[in-house]
């Protein structure tokens, strides 16, 4: 019984991946001036691992089939920078980009970071969350539909029926495990076969990733930027709970 269930699960993933490969996606041109300007404007150097992953993603984006890639990297490894390069590539090709994250706090962080990072390029990302005042929300929705907004960062609000993109070409989803399959597909369906990059900080061995995410290609940022301290995880006993709260 276990074998049969596993076989059916893997068969479904293989079939889905086959369908993705048969879809006609966007073949992005590598108009490097703006993307290279963005990379040069950074106050730090990209790691070798980031550059390797960027090359993998851009190779996907050159292809005529839609990208469907999982990016795994520890907290602080620079996944957002990598996703920004992909989003910028879509923008310079005349498409829109969308970054979806599961909570308003994370969305606010991404929006602030992207606003700062993209300021030298005169690209201002829009923020779309559920509790926006109706007038401001209506204005943003109109500008997304008209194509005046090139990049939008949001929560589940991005997949609501009223959100209509002018020309969505690139979708990035942070903490992808917090979204259901249908939610991810809902955002993808707002464009005509846009490229999709899903991100996670959860360590996933390659064999396990291929087992549970067999319909996705897989990239790993395997190193932290210089100067980043390694993460230390410790167990605290119950009798030290108060000390933990005061830490």
Q: Residue 245 has what pLDDT?
A: 77
Average pLDDT of the residues in 200-227: 68
How are beta strands 168-173 and 96-100 bridged, if at all? parallel
Q: Residue 9 has what pLDDT?
A: 53
Average pLDDT of the residues in 166-193: 82
Confidence of residue 16 (pLDDT cuts 50, 70, 90): low
Confidence of residue 207 (pLDDT cuts 50, 70, 90): very low
Taking the mean position of all CA atoms in its chain, how far away is CA 81?
10
List, edge to edge, every strand of the sheet that includes 126-128: 126-128, 151-154, 96-100, 168-173, 195-200, 68-73, 217-221
Most confident of the following: 34-43, 137-146, 211-220? 137-146
C-alpha distances in angstroms, 177 versus 113, 173, 181, 216?
A: 22, 10, 9, 14
Q: Dihedral (C-alpha) 132, 133, 135, 139: value to the nearest 10 degrees? A: -10
CB 186 within 8 A of CB 164: no
How many Å apart are CA 147 and CA 36, to the nearest integer?
A: 24
First CA to last CA distance, the chain: 49
76: left (phi over 0), alpha (psi -120 to 50) or beta: left
Q: Residue 79 has what pLDDT?
A: 93
The pLDDT of residue 179 is above 80 = no
Q: Residue 211 has what pLDDT?
A: 46
Question: How much helix, strand and coil, in percent to the nearest 5, is found in the chain?
Answer: 50, 15, 35
Average pLDDT of the residues in 136-148: 96
> Between these two residues, 68 and 202, which has the higher pLDDT value?
68
How are beta strands 126-128 and 217-221 bridged, if at all? unpaired
Fold of 2-245: Rossmann fold (3.40.50)
The pLDDT of residue 214 is above 60 = no
Place of tokens 């520890």: 74
Q: Residue 21 has what pLDDT?
A: 63
CB 113 within 8 A of CB 87: no
Q: Residue 180 has what pLDDT?
A: 64
Q: Residue 203 has what pLDDT?
A: 64
Q: Residue 137 has what pLDDT?
A: 94
The pLDDT of residue 210 is above 60 = no
């Amino acid at each position: 019984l276990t074998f049969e269930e596993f076989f059916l699960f893997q068969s479904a993933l293989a079939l889905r991946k086959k369908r993705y490969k048969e879809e006609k996606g966007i073949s992005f041109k590598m108009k490097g001036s703006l993307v290279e300007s963005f990379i040069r404007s950074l106050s730090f150097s990209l790691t070798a691992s980031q550059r390797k992953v960027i090359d993998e993603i851009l190779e996907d984006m050159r292809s005529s089939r839609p990208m469907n890639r999982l990016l795994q990297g520890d907290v602080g490894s620079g996944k957002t920078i990598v996703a920004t390069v992909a989003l910028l590539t879509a923008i310079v090709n005349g498409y829109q980009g969308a970054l979806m994250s599961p909570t308003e706090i994370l969305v606010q962080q991404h929006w602030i970071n992207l606003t700062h990072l993209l300021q030298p390029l005169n690209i201002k990302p829009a923020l779309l969350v559920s509790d926006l005042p109706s007038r401001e929300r209506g204005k943003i929705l109109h500008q997304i539909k008209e194509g005046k907004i090139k990049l939008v960062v949001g929560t589940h609000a991005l997949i609501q029926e009223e959100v209509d993109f002018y020309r969505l070409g690139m979708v990035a989803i942070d903490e992808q495990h917090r979204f259901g399959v249908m939610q991810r597909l809902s955002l993808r369906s707002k464009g005509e076969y846009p490229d999709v990059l899903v991100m996670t900080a959860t360590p996933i061995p390659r064999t396990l990733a291929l087992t549970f995410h067999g319909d996705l290609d897989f990239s790993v940022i395997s190193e932290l930027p210089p100067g980043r301290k390694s993460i230390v995880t410790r167990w605290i006993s119950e009798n030290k709970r108060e000390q933990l709260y005061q830490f």
